[in-house]
Amino acid sequence: MPLKKLKIKNFSATFVLRHWWEEDRSIKNYTVWTMRRRFELGLFCKRDKSVGTVKRNKKGGDVVKKTFNSSNHVNTYTFGLNLIVAKVWVSWKFKPVMEFRID
């Protein structure tokens, strides 16, 4: 999966390209699995809510309630293009969000 990340201060964008010929043929790879079974052509855009950065204070406090509070949500925008054999999209946000690295 070709992936490119761009980060400038609090703005970050991720560019992704998925296609039929990717080596991972397992059923766990849902995006490629659906592309092989559905033929889609068109544009798509969506807005999601992501959890912002972890909110900590010096006294300890309740970190979980402050982090997952509705005032700590960040809008994440996605714009993409569905081709018959490939799917391309860019996702961006203007504030930092909580991210997990899975290797």
The domain locations on the chain are 3-93
Q: Check: CB of residue 45 under 8 Å from CB of residue 77.
A: yes
Q: What is the pLDDT of residues 56-93, one digit of tens each?
A: 776 666 777 777 777 888 888 999 998 888 888 888 88
Q: What is the pLDDT of the chain when averaged over all its residues?
A: 78
pTM given for the model: 0.68
